[in-house]
Amino acid sequence: MTITDTKTVPTFGYELIRDHVLSTILGKHEDDILYWAGKDLARKFQMFSIDETTSFFEEAGWGVLTLDRLTKDEAFFTLTGEPDALQINKRCFRLEAGFLAQQQQKLGGFLTECFEEKFIKKNIVQFHVKWDLKEKIQ
């Protein structure tokens, strides 16, 4: 991935779109649609390593993504950032979960899903990425 433009979007503008406009448009289907949108984004911005994925999160303004643990069929990540920027208590993180699932599916070649858990008091989101070693993707 290459950076072609260094302009930044004010956090307030990003929050308006992400936290208010999208939720109004998507309504009760917000979680599902954002998950699939995250998967679609991952297809358009393919990463070739976990390191690239963590860099993408920072460049996209999604926060700081850290790989906590990796096993043969799952990975655990933590997303941190400034409390005002992450908006953990208000925001849905299904877009990021879908993105992680699709990136891992491409990197590993197995059917992959991702689930997130918010820890509001710690101001973190944990992602559990799980792939099925019996379901090879071609």
CA 32, chain centre distance (Å): 13
Residue 44 to residues 21, 47, 91, Cα–Cα distance (Å): 23, 9, 23
Q: Is 16 or 28 the better-scoring residue by pLDDT?
A: 28
The H or E element spanning position 101 is helix 94-108
The pLDDT tens digits for 39-83 are 999 999 999 998 999 999 999 889 999 999 999 999 999 999 887
Say whether pLDDT at 3 is over 60. Answer: no
Of 124, 104, 122, 123, nearest in space to 114 by CA: 104
Domains within the chain, CATH numbers bracketed: 11-136 (3.30.1380.20)
The H or E element spanning position 63 is none
Say whether pLDDT at 23 is over 90. Answer: no
